Structure 1
Amino acid sequence: MSGLPHSPHALVTGGGRGIGRAIAAALVGAGATVTIVGRNAGVLGEAVNAGAAHFAVVADVANEAALKAAIAEAHARKPIDILIANAGSAESAPFAKSDNALFARMMDINFMGVVHAIHGVLPGMKDRPYGRIVVIASTAGLKGYAYVSAYTAAKHAAVGLVRSLALELAGGNVTVNAVCPGFTDTDLVTASIDNIMKKTGRSREQAIAELAKHNPQGRLIAPQEVADAVLWLCGQGASAITGQTIAVAGGEI
Structure 2
Amino acid sequence: MGADTINHFIEYLTWDEVARRIAADSPAILPIGAAAKQHGFHLPLNADRVQAEWFAARLAERIDALIWPTVTYGYYPAFVDYAGSASLSCATFEAVIHEIAAGILGSGCRALFVLDTGISTLAPAERALSRLDGNAVCHLRLYHGPRYGRAAEALREQSHGSHADEIETSLMLAIAPDLVDMARAEASPALTHEVSGRLTPTDPRSPNYSRSGSYGDPTLATRAKGEVLLAALLEDLHEQAQVFLGDHDAAGRGVSS
Given the two structures, how large is their TM-score scaled by the length of structure 2? 0.44
TM-score normalised by L of structure 1: 0.44
Higher CA-based Rg: 2
Q: Which has the higher strand share?
A: 1
